[in-house]
């Protein structure tokens, strides 16, 4: 069923049953309403507000008097939040809910009714309604054809596809914010479950406890509680005759990007994973095809982590639904059985975290008001508040130890209920290195290893390990951001926007869109108060511009420019908006999706080009600049994805597997040579580091060799699962305007470049290198020596064209504002003389 059918049915059920209620919680990125389905006893449903208030007090108040607390625990109910099918290809959890809800609405089993009196289930029927409809539509379109059950070509989301499970720190997407608000600031459930599916040939169902490594900041009680739910799931599902339930396998839990971020906010939080069929079509699994991959199970055999293996056979959507129904029943039973203990634990952990913030370092993170990029400081404060974190401001200058803080500096106290979250996202990450056996192999990270918000956003943060009552007495809450006040005198000639500030670029893109005159200064500009704006400063001429237009520009970007009077005594480079093409493949191209998100968010116009479009496109006529995000060269030029040395099979219908044709590649070369600009990072740089295809029109022409290559293959033992690494930038280049000399960058290790003396009509400039030492800022890195001093961002000229190649990921998952301006500078790169 599609999303309208799903919520239509649930709404009808809510109308008919006093045990069900539907709440509209917000909207998805493509505008579909998102709901929570409450399932509980009629009495609980009729007093949800009162129960919500109990949840809030237990979650956030460390000082409830004992007798009052005892009464709240007596009257309170365990709220179990479940989000279904966030990954829209994993259809079964959402498809199960109507049956489960109907059973709960109609059961007369006294045991189940008693459970519904102890527990309020709050189920998000679809965590990703946009993606759900895309998948259902695709499935229906190809039903009965060779492509029945094939994966959806493109991302199942407006922007980010599978990465919607990696956005719960940055909260960039609207649906992420809706879900995060439910547990962080609105309903305070004590238990949270995220329901997924996995591959077809391993265990049938995954339940906690998770495998090592686990997050070191998270309270032991939370790990123990999720194990209680997990062991009950294993037992209950086996009693229901369901085989193949595994735990303590594959899925580790050191990383807070998914909804398990709620663990860091004291919620007992875990995921379940069911084996998949092909969307809604069954698969047959030969017993000899059954296998396990990953930590915790070395053989597909009966073992303590999978005591009741599934023998193979047919596996259908109906089977998965049976497992989900059993799973939901078990979770309800466990929550009911431990109602009072769970409620008490929620308040105990609140008390404990607040106390730890008082008695254990770190005590505060201070974000000085003086920042290179004040717009990102403001963004960080807003983000923390959105997470339910209390953020304060110093109302007078204060000295703590060696630190001199000024009035207006931002203080994030650790002594608050969400202390674990604050600590985790404000400090640098150290990957918890654990081994399978003493002295044995390292347990490798499942995903990235760095998410420090100050680092990723380029905000200076100071960790304070000394408690100061004086400082605490001088804190006041940070309010809403105020309107930008701007006085423009009659003598004003220009507005100056600093290139160090990300919001300046938003203003510039808006100004260009409105047709205002924008230029950049090559030299620093001194202003009337004696300070100086750096090279690369944007100059927006006020000649002929109405006061209204200026106000609209400033308001929309929430950035106060410097108002300049008189004449600027230096040559200015005019800035214009290039006509941008953004290359997006059909291969669930999340990085391209994130790039679309970045561009939309900053007001950058673009057109999407798919690989098969190149052949017919008039690149030179229609575009000035082409952005190639991280899709690999094999996807772009062969229409196949490579894993190691092997091409991975792919079941997309053929029109979604077309690569850039030979003719298309020739057009790309012609585009560059005639003056086009290429911006490329990650895997797509392979298109340019191995020479360009002969330009179209040149029969039997030679490949065009560029003075840059990818040297990754020469490096030994380098492993960067996703870490924040230091990078040194050259000064005074249009690409690095606004950047500090040394900055952090998000890296996955490859590519790393080597350059050579240019020949023929080419040139190159190394824009950034990894430093000589101290590469690792946050996360995990092996093989640091191999990376030292290597070029990691290179500018290349070929004919009249230019290429900007990144080895790090300048816009990784929308979470790295520290390097966004390198992308913006690439878009605004002047034509070489």
Binding site for Zn ion (CB under 5 A): 87, 90, 196
Closer Cβ to Zn ion, 165 or 819, answer by number: 165
Cα 372 to the chain's mean position, in Å?
Answer: 24
Closer Cβ to Zn ion, 163 or 219, answer by number: 163
Closer Cβ to Zn ion, 133 or 273, answer by number: 273
Do 37 and 22 meet the contact criterion of CB atoms below 8 Å apart?
Answer: yes
Closer Cβ to Zn ion, 90 or 253, answer by number: 90
**DSSP character string of 449-477:** ----HHHHHT---EEE-S--HHHHHTEEE
Closer Cβ to Zn ion, 133 or 710, answer by number: 133
Beta-strand pair 364-367/245-247: unpaired
Q: State the nearest-atom distance from the C-beta of 240 to Zn ion, in Å.
A: 23
Diameter of the chain by CA atoms? Answer: 88
Q: State the nearest-atom distance from the C-beta of 647 to Zn ion, in Å.
A: 24
Q: State the nearest-atom distance from the C-beta of 87 to Zn ion, in Å.
A: 3
Tokens in use for 267?
């919620």
The total of other beta-carbon atoms located within 10 Å of residue 24's CB is: 11
Q: State the nearest-atom distance from the C-beta of 85 to Zn ion, in Å.
A: 8
Question: In Å, how far are 52, 77, 86, 744 from 120, measured between CA atoms?
Answer: 10, 6, 21, 45
Q: State the nearest-atom distance from the C-beta of 805 to Zn ion, in Å.
A: 33
Closer Cβ to Zn ion, 87 or 588, answer by number: 87
Do 561 and 494 meet the contact criterion of CB atoms below 8 Å apart?
Answer: no
Closer Cβ to Zn ion, 259 or 334, answer by number: 259
Beta-strand pair 462-464/364-367: antiparallel
Sequence-ordered list of residues with C-beta below 8 angstroms from that of 598, at least 6 positions apart, any chain = 604, 811, 814, 820, 823
Q: How far apart are the C-alpha atoms of 586 and 651, rounded to whole Å?
A: 12
Q: State the nearest-atom distance from the C-beta of 90 to Zn ion, in Å.
A: 5
Q: State the nearest-atom distance from the C-beta of 257 to Zn ion, in Å.
A: 13
Closer Cβ to Zn ion, 590 or 823, answer by number: 590
Q: State the nearest-atom distance from the C-beta of 251 to Zn ion, in Å.
A: 10
Closer Cβ to Zn ion, 87 or 474, answer by number: 87
Whether residue 209 has a cis bond before it, omega within 30° of 0: yes
Q: State the nearest-atom distance from the C-beta of 325 to Zn ion, in Å.
A: 19
Closer Cβ to Zn ion, 90 or 167, answer by number: 90
Closer Cβ to Zn ion, 87 or 138, answer by number: 87
Closer Cβ to Zn ion, 194 or 710, answer by number: 194
Q: State the nearest-atom distance from the C-beta of 150 to Zn ion, in Å.
A: 18
Whether residue 751 has a cis bond before it, omega within 30° of 0: yes
Q: How far apart are the C-alpha atoms of 717 and 736, rounded to whole Å?
A: 30
Nearest to 48, CA basis, from 124, 122, 123, 127: 122
Closer Cβ to Zn ion, 69 or 196, answer by number: 196
Which residues in 254-363 belong to E strands, given as ranges? 268-275, 283-285, 313-315
Q: How far apart are the C-alpha atoms of 170 and 184, rounded to whole Å?
A: 14
Q: State the nearest-atom distance from the C-beta of 250 to Zn ion, in Å.
A: 12
Q: State the nearest-atom distance from the C-beta of 194 to Zn ion, in Å.
A: 8
Do 198 and 274 meet the contact criterion of CB atoms below 8 Å apart?
Answer: yes
The total of other beta-carbon atoms located within 10 Å of residue 110's CB is: 8
Q: How far apart are the C-alpha atoms of 812 and 500, rounded to whole Å?
A: 19
**DSSP character string of 186-235:** I---SEEEEEEEE-SSS-SEEESSPEEEE-TTS-HHHHHHHHHHHHHHHH
Closer Cβ to Zn ion, 283 or 829, answer by number: 283
Closer Cβ to Zn ion, 90 or 130, answer by number: 90
Q: State the nearest-atom distance from the C-beta of 93 to Zn ion, in Å.
A: 10
Q: State the nearest-atom distance from the C-beta of 83 to Zn ion, in Å.
A: 11
DSSP state, residue 45 = H
Beta bridge partners of 34: 26
Q: State the nearest-atom distance from the C-beta of 226 to Zn ion, in Å.
A: 18
Q: State the nearest-atom distance from the C-beta of 308 to Zn ion, in Å.
A: 24
Tokens 């404000």 map to which residue? 426
Which residues in 682-761 belong to E strands, given as ranges? 708-710, 723-729, 742-747, 753-755
Closer Cβ to Zn ion, 18 or 199, answer by number: 199
Q: How far apart are the C-alpha atoms of 80 and 78, rounded to whole Å?
A: 6
Q: How far apart are the C-alpha atoms of 362 and 358, rounded to whole Å?
A: 9
Tokens in use for 474?
């001088």
Which residues in 396-542 belong to E strands, given as ranges? 398-400, 403-405, 410-413, 462-464, 475-477, 492-497, 518-521, 525-526, 532-533, 538-541
Which residues in 93-132 belong to E strands, given as ranges? 119-124
């Amino acid at each position: 069923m599609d999303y309208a059918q799903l919520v239509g049915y649930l709404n009808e059920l809510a109308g008919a049953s006093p045990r069900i209620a539907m709440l509209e919680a917000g909207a998805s990125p493509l505008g579909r309403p998102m709901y929570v389905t409450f399932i509980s006893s009629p009495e609980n449903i009729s007093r949800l507000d009162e129960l919500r208030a109990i949840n809030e007090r237990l979650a956030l108040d460390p000082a409830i008097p004992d007798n009052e607390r005892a009464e709240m625990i007596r009257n309170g109910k365990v709220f179990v939040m479940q989000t279904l099918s966030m990954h829209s290809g994993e259809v079964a959890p959402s498809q199960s809910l109507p049956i489960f809800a109907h059973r709960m609405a109609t059961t007369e089993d006294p045991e189940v009714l008693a459970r519904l009196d102890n527990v309020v289930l709050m189920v998000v029927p679809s965590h990703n309604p946009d993606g759900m409809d895309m998948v259902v539509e695709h499935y229906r379109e190809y039903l009965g054809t060779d492509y029945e059950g094939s994966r959806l070509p493109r991302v199942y989301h407006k922007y980010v596809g599978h990465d919607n499970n990696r956005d719960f720190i940055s909260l960039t997407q609207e649906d992420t914010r809706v879900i995060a608000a439910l547990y962080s600031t609105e309903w305070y459930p004590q238990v949270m479950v995220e329901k997924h599916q996995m591959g077809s040939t391993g265990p049938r169902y995954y339940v906690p406890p998770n495998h090592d490594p686990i997050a070191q900041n998270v309270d032991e009680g939370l790990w123990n509680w999720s194990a209680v739910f997990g062991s009950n799931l294993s037992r209950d599902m086996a009693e229901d005759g369901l085989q193949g339930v595994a735990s303590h396998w594959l899925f580790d839990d050191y990383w807070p990007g998914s909804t398990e971020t709620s663990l860091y906010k004291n919620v007992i939080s875990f995921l379940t994973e069911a084996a998949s069929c092909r969307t809604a079509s069954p698969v047959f699994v030969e017993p000899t095809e059954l296998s396990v991959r990953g930590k915790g199970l070395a053989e597909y055999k009966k073992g303590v982590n999978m005591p009741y293996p599934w023998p193979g056979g047919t596996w259908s959507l109906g089977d998965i639904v049976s497992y989900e129904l059993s799973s939901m029943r078990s979770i309800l039973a466990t929550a009911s059985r431990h109602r009072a203990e769970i409620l008490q634990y929620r308040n105990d952990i609140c008390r404990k975290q607040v106390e730890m913030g008082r008695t254990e370092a770190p005590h505060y993170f201070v974000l000085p008001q003086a920042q290179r990029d004040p717009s990102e400081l403001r963004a960080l404060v807003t983000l923390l508040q959105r997470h339910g974190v209390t953020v304060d401001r110093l109302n007078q200058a204060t000295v703590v130890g060696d630190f001199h803080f000024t009035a207006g500096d931002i203080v994030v106290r650790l002594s608050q209920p969400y202390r674990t979250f604050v600590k985790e996202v404000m400090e640098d990450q150290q990957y918890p290195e654990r081994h399978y056996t003493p002295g044995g192999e390292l347990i490798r990270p499942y995903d990235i290893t760095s998410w420090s918000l100050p680092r990723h956003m380029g905000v200076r943060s100071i960790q304070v390990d000394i408690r100061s009552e004086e400082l605490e007495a001088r804190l006041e809450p940070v309010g809403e951001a105020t309107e930008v006040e701007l006085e423009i005198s009659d003598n004003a000639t220009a507005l100056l926007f600093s290139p160090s500030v990300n919001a300046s670029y938003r203003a510039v893109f808006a100004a260009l869109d409105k047709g205002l005159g924008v230029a950049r200064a090559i030299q620093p500009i001194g202003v009337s108060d004696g300070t100086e704006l750096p090279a690369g400063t944007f100059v927006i001429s006020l000649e002929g511009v109405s006061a209204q237009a200026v106000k609209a520009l400033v308001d929309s970007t929430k950035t106060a420019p410097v108002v300049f009077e008189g004449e600027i005594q230096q040559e200015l480079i005019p800035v214009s908006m290039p006509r941008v093409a953004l290359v997006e493949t059909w291969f669930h191209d999340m990085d391209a999706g994130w790039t679309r998100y970045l561009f939309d968010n900053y007001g950058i116009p673009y057109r999407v080009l798919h690989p098969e479009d190149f052949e017919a496109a008039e690149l030179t006529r229609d575009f000035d600049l082409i952005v190639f995000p991280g899709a690999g060269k094999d996807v772009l030029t062969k229409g196949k994805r490579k894993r190691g040395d092997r091409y991975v099979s792919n079941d997309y219908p053929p029109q979604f597997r077309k690569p850039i044709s030979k003719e298309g590649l020739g057009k790309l070369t012609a585009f560059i040579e005639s003056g086009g600009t290429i911006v490329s990072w990650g895997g797509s740089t392979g298109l340019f580091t191995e020479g360009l295809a002969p330009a179209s029109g040149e029969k039997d022409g030679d490949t065009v060799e560029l003075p840059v290559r990818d040297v990754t293959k020469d490096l030994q033992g380098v492993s960067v699962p996703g870490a924040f690494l230091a990078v040194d930038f050259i000064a005074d280049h249009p690409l690095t305007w606004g950047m500090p000399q040394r900055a952090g960058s998000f890296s996955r290790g490859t590519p790393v470049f080597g350059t050579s003396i240019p020949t023929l009509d080419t040139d190159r400039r190394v824009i950034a290198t990894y430093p000589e030492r101290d590469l690792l800022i946050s996360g995990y890195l092996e093989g640091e020596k191999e990376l030292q001093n290597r070029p990691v961002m290179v500018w290349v000229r070929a004919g009249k064209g230019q290429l900007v190649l990144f080895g790090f990921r300048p816009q990784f998952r929308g979470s790295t504002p520290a390097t966004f301006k390198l992308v913006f500078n690439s878009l605004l790169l002047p034509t070489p003389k």
